[in-house]
Structure 1
Amino acid sequence: MTDHSTAPDSPPTDTWTLANAKARLSEVVDRAQTGPQIITRHGRPNAVVVSVEEWARKTARKGTLAEFLLASPLRGADLELEREQDEPRDEMP
């Protein structure tokens, strides 16, 4: 296991081999409370364990699709879009 910091104000990120993470899963989960835990397979990053709070923060919806579209810098840009007039696809058997 090695300790790497991604930025001066970020929590440390620990890296574990898959075998070591399996053997010490409880510790991996405990350490995930303070920062992401990277699990490697064959020397390459393969998975990340994070706390539930971090997961919720990263995956939280930040508004609706309508709000996103209304905030677009292209809103009111008078774009002229043309749609292809292809023939319908054949039905699948």
Structure 2
Amino acid sequence: MTRNTKTRHAPPGSWALQDAKARFSELVRRATREGPQHITVHGREEVVVVSAEEFRRLSGAKTGGTLIEAMQASPCRDVELAPDRGPMPVRRVDL
């Protein structure tokens, strides 16, 4: 039985699973510097490795920015929200 020795050249940013495992540190560096890195298993794209910063951007990490933007865009943003405070009831205590 002979093996097919023809080498397929993967596009930049694409890794076969065994290469990704063997060169994991390089994969992580490239994901940080160059962008998403695609991992293939048996020639099919299975996963994509992205930097933490890119992941936060894509997943809409909760930074509070969205709430601030919504409040600033509100037509009621000039409404005063001071609570109405009255005297607190006090119980008599014998000392």
TM-score band, normalised by shorter chain = 0.5 to 0.7
Equivalent pairs, count? 55
Give the CA deviation at 1:63.
Answer: 4.6
1:43 counterpart residue number? 43
Higher strand share: 1
TM-score (norm 2): 0.52
**Any residues of structure 2 matched to 1:1-93 within 5 Å, and which?**
1-3=10-12, 14-34=13-33, 35-60=35-60, 63=66
Higher helix share: 2
Query: How far apart are the structure 2 equivalents of 1:27 and 1:63?
Result: 35
Query: How far apart are the structure 2 equivalents of 1:63 and 1:2?
Result: 36
2:75 counterpart residue number? none
Q: Which structure has the larger Rg?
A: 2
Cα deviation, 1:7-61, whole Å, max 9, x if unaligned, reads xxxxxxx000000000000000000013000000000000000000000000015
Displaced runs of 4+ in structure 1, greater than 3 A?
Answer: 61-64
| Structure 2 alignment gaps of length 5 or more | 1-9, 71-95
Give the CA deviation at 1:2.
Answer: 2.9
| Structure 1 alignment gaps of length 5 or more | 4-13, 68-93
Q: Which amino acid aligns with 1:36?
A: P
Q: How large is the RMSD of aligned CA atoms in angstroms?
A: 1.8
Secondary structure at the aligned position of 1:2 is classed as: coil
Query: How far apart are the structure 1 equivalents of 2:57 and 2:27?
Result: 20
What percentage of residue pairs aligned between the two structures are identical?
Answer: 47
Q: Which amino acid aligns with 2:50?
A: V
